[in-house]
Copies of this chain bind each other. A is one copy, B any other.
Amino acid sequence: MLINIDLQANEPIYEQLKNQIMIRIARKELKPGDGLPSVRIFAADLGINLHTVNKAYQQLKQEGFILIHRQKGVVINPEIPSADGEYEEKLTRLLRPLIAESACRGMTEVEFTSFCRQLFHQLTEEGDEG
């Protein structure tokens, strides 16, 4: 698990952890059924507290990305819930300010969507680890 955490960043550590794990699932560096470190091991590796890892795990579990078996450990969910109406609402809420600022700064619709397409590519096609 090559995870980089920036302790100085504005973004909360547990959010960074969630994002890093989701990014690795998208890149297929983490595949369905793959295991994640225990909260204690992961916390020790990253030099952070056990509860911070646990908070990330609990939210990832709540959102359907991982399964937690009491003594078997943490595993990537083979059936991550598809994007539904609720998720699209969340996505809209988060994307709208980014699109607004980009438009204010002169980016066209084509420029913005091309930018997204390129990022999407990097996240799903790049790398040899998957």
Using CB atoms and an 8 Å cutoff, list the residues of chain A in contact with chain B.
19, 22-23, 25-26, 65, 80-83, 87-88, 91-92, 94-107, 109, 112-113, 115-117, 119-121, 123-124
- Given A23-B100, A95-B116, A109-B117, 14 further pairs, Cβ under 8 A: A22-B101, A23-B96, A26-B103, A80-B104, A83-B106, A83-B107, A87-B105, A91-B102, A94-B98, A99-B119, A99-B120, A99-B123, A112-B120, A113-B116
Identify 6 residue pairs between A and B in the complex whose beta-carbon atoms are under 8 Å apart, listed by A's number. Answer: A25-B104, A26-B103, A80-B104, A99-B116, A100-B123, A103-B124
Q: A91-B115, A113-B120, A116-B112 are in contact. Are A80 and B98 (CB under 8 A)?
A: no
Checking B87, B94, B109 against A124 with a beta-carbon cut-off of 8 angstroms, the contacting residue is: B109
A20 to chain B, nearest CB (A): 9
Most buried by B among A25, A80, A98, A117: A98
Q: Which residues of B contact A65 (CB under 8 A)?
A: 104
B19 touches A97 (CB 8 A): yes
